[in-house]
Structure 1
Amino acid sequence: MLTNEMTELLKIKYPIIQAPMAGGVTTSKLVAEVSNAGGLGMIGAGYMTPNQIREQIREIKQLTSKPFGINLFVPNDFNWTESEVKLANQLLEPIREQLHILQGDTLEIPTSNHVYEIFNEQIKVVIEEQVAVCSFTFGIPSKEVITELKRNAIFLIGTATTVEEAVEVEKSGMDMVVVQGSEAGGHRGNFISQSQESLVGLMSLIPQVVDHVSIPVIAAGGIMDGRGLMASLCLGAKGVQMGTAFLTCIESGAHKVYKEAIMHAKEDQIVLTRAFSGKWARGIKNKFITEMEKHEDLLPDFPVQNTLTQPIRKASSSQNNADYISLWSGQSPRLAKNQTVKNLLDTIITEAKKINNNI
């Protein structure tokens, strides 16, 4: 069961992808170690500049000869008003003062055009550096982008949160689809359904998607061990994508306060919020989420709110203060461990084989 169409197409030993967590978690060491241990390491490049992407790709190539991939955010049109931003800043000001942040005029609010320009530059780097796999979140890129990537023999993976989205991913020409259950940590990849309508549990989502697409399905959301892997395979997925399990690994770039928060969290502390970024995301409820809860509907959309809270998250992190960091996590934090990537993968595979032998 552990060798199938997915492992053959991606040229990996085990049907396990390390989720591409943006924001500094996917260090070169983490990505390379996952690939070296038989999975597929992924760079979470959503917030990275084209130059940063190029540097990291080259760094990883020094650490592994195995395939690895990269994930990009598909840009979407967005608008914001001065009054929206002004109100958000007023709500954030007491927190800035508490963290001793000098506001000044340093925050540059992004525009749709700028975001599209960066995305096109990112694509260029992925092609030039010949990355084996490229996955996408928050939508489907244009036909032109998909055609260009396929022309350069880059394997493409889309992200979906409903059957309808998975069907669209297949129609676009992607080679595989990650189906993200509502258990998934951080931002989920919905792009047709609104966030609240796309909150389908993974174990319900997998078989329904499998029945409606012919490309391999990769399961994501709350999977932490061999039991989650085998359950996903039994329901028709060809493999899994795991985020939180890798986030607490030694090689991960997550702040130690962040890692500790996950390892001490309980499943009922994991909530959905749009307070940090303006887009619904799942993480550990902390002081910031609690304080902003009643104002969530007033906050500007992603990526505007994400830009406004960036100095708060950065300052909170540098002060070792978990109160104002976005502590993204899937719904299975009790299963998280602080261990090496190799140990995590070895344990998953041992568990999976044991279960397989007993079926």
Structure 2
Amino acid sequence: MGTWRDRRILDLFGIEAPIVLGPMAGPGTPELAIAVCEAGGLGSLPCALLSVEQARDGIALIRSKTRGPININFFCHVPPQTDAARSMAWRARLAEYYVEYGLDPEVTPPAAGRRPFDNDFCAVVEEFKPEVVSFHFGLPDKSLFDRVKATGAKVIASATTVAEARWLEAHGCDAVIAMGVEAGGHRGNFLTQDYAAQVGTFALVPQVADAVSVPVIAAGGITDARGIVAAFALGASAVQMGTAYLFCPEAKVPEVHRIALRECQDDSTVLTNIFTGRPARGIINRAIRELGPLSSVAPAFPLAGAALAPLKAKAEQAGKGDFTSLWSGQAARLGRELPAGELTRVLISESLAKMAQA
């Protein structure tokens, strides 16, 4: 059995294996984080869809079940102003589906939004002092960032370009997540809105590794040991894996999503903005085919989801994922249905064995 040749992330976070659980808002649960922590990786709890109280309860549960370091993840988007005309146009675009499902197109119940990092969330970080705090869509304002750093937490964030990686290092990040376009879920871009020019993991990781002095965590399309070993060869010190863990029983994934993941092929996913208003990679379904994948009518992030929520609920009741955001990376077909702890241990063992053969 081999050893990890690059220990920068291991030493920085105090973990045994350089595997970071992707913080997937929705599917990510305390149980999933606990299992990864106990297996030696860095468990992550996503808080974008949680209330402050839910975040506090989730962190407390993790702390009660594991002594391993944990990562608490937050979004850093700026909440948009409501655009009444655009909202009306979006609802008009969805009206035919409301009629199909026997819903009143004039009634749109409020949907859960995504809460950006704020003073209340920062107070939770100060209370629990997680070893790692990660951000998506850039970083919070300096006053909040400084409070997080004052707790002793290591701060990491996603970069989708070399310029974003340099920006994150210059603004105090302890490590950078190089997020290739293969990754499932929302793109982490914040300096560019040019999605056509987004970079693949294989090209992005070595360029980011050359551009910054902090350790690099590779993310996007990494689902098995081959991807982990390749990421290290490209200059990464660790990997962040999300889609691989969607197959685990600890992940909060509706059955329609699990079925879609099992059937997913290499060309089954696209970037789409119709579910939230911001491009994210998911499995193609009816909504994506007929409304997108990218729509200029969809309200700004995260407002697009409100009008889709009733359709999602009705379709899922009928056993269909037609209006569900089926987030997934491009390598889902390599996923294995194992408990999260067992999966982590298998990935570690297989990766070390491959490295020893190199």
State if a TM-score over 0.5 links the two structures: yes
Shift of 1:316: 3.2
**1:24-61 Cα deviation digits (max 9, x unpaired):** x1111111000001111101111211111011111112
1:320 Cα deviation after fit: 2.9
Other-structure match for 1:281: 280
Deviation of the 1:115 alpha carbon: 5.2
Could you say what secondary structure the match of 1:140 adopts? Answer: coil
Residue type at the aligned position of 2:73: N
**Correspondence for 1:146:** 145
Classify 1:316/1:7 alpha carbon distance in 2 versus 1 (closer, same or farther; 3 Å): farther
1:42 aligned partner? 44
Q: Which residue of 1 aligns with 2:216?
A: 217
Q: What letter matches 1:26 in structure 2? A: G
* Aligned partner letter, 2:140: P
2:98, 2:233 → 1: CA distance?
49
- Gap change, CA 1:309 and 1:126, over 3 Å in 2: farther
Percent of aligned pairs with the same amino acid? 35
Cα distance, 1:312 vs structure 2: 2.9
Question: 1:33 is matched by which residue type in structure 2?
Answer: A
Give the Cα–Cα distance (whole angstroms) in 2 for the partners of residues 129 and 311 of structure 1.
Answer: 36
The answer for the alignment partner of 2:347 in structure 1 is 348
Alpha-carbon deviation of 1:265?
A: 1.1
**What is the alpha-carbon distance in structure 2 between the residues aligned to residue 265 and residue 186 of structure 1?**
15
Q: Distance in 1 between matches of 2:56 and 2:293?
A: 41
- Conserved? CA contact 2:224–2:347, under 8 Å: yes
State the alpha-carbon separation in 2 of the partners of residues 295 and 34 from structure 1: 34
Q: 1:128 — aligned with what?
A: 127
Greater Cα offset, 284-293 or 161-170: 284-293
The alpha carbon displacement at 1:342 in A equals 2.2
The Cα shift of 1:278 comes to 0.9
Work out whether 1:53 is the aligned partner of 2:55.
yes
Q: Is the CA contact 1:101–1:315 (under 8 Å) kept in the aligned structure 2?
A: no
Give how far 1:75 is off: 2.4
Q: Measure, in 2, the Cα distance between the counterparts of 1:240 and 1:293.
A: 31
- Deviation of the 1:108 alpha carbon: 7.1
Map residues 1-359 of structure 1 onto 2, 5 A cutoff.
Answer: 2=4, 4-23=7-26, 25-76=27-78, 78-101=80-103, 104=107, 106-107=109-110, 119-293=118-292, 296-359=295-358
After TM superposition, give the deviation of residue 323 of structure 1 in Å. 1.2
SS in 1 for 2:292: helix
Query: In structure 2, what is the Cα distance between the partners aligned to 1:59 and 1:281?
Result: 29
Q: 2 CA distance for matches of 1:340 and 1:323?
A: 27
How much has 1:198 moved relative to structure 2? 4.6
Report the Cα offset of residue 129 of structure 1.
Answer: 2.1
Q: Which amino acid aligns with 2:137?
A: F
One-letter code of the match for 2:344? L
Residue 99 (structure 1) shift: 3.8
Quick check: 1:263–1:337 contact (8 Å CA) kept in 2? no
Return the letter of the residue paired with 1:37.
Answer: A
Greater percentage in helix: 1
**TM-score in terms of structure 2 length:** 0.93
Q: Secondary structure at the match of 1:276?
A: coil
Letter in 1 for 2:9: M
Query: Which deviates more from structure 2 when the two are superposed, residues 87-96 or residues 262-271?
Result: 87-96
- Once residues 226 and 194 of structure 1 are traced to their aligned partners in structure 2, the CA distance between those partners, rounded to angstroms, is 32
Q: Is the 8 A contact 1:12 1:39 kept in 2?
A: yes
**Counterpart code for 2:121:** Q
Structure 2 CA distance for partners of 1:43 and 1:315, relative to 1, 3 Å: farther
Segments of structure 2 that go 5 or more residues without pairing to the other structure are none
Letter in 2 for 1:94: E
Offset at 1:298? 1.7
RMSD across aligned positions (CA): 2.0
For 1:301, give the aligned amino acid.
A
Q: Give the whole-Å Cα distance in 1 for the aligned partners of 2:309 and 2:287.
A: 13
Taking the aligned partners of 1:4 and 1:93, their CA distance within structure 2 comes to 54
Deviates further, 279-288 or 310-319: 310-319
Say whether the 8 Å CA contact 2:20–2:241 is kept in structure 1: yes
1:314–1:51 Cα change, 3 Å: farther
User: Structure 1 residue 281: deviation in Å?
Assistant: 0.9
- Relative to structure 1, is the Cα distance of residues 49 and 268 closer, same or farther in structure 2, using a 3 angstrom cutoff? same
Q: Quick check: 1:316–1:324 contact (8 Å CA) kept in 2?
A: yes
Contact 1:277 1:309 in 2 (8 A): no
Per-residue deviation, 1:176: 0.8
Shift of 1:132: 1.9
Deviation, 1:11, is 0.9
Runs of at least 5 residues in structure 1 that lack an aligned partner in the other structure: none
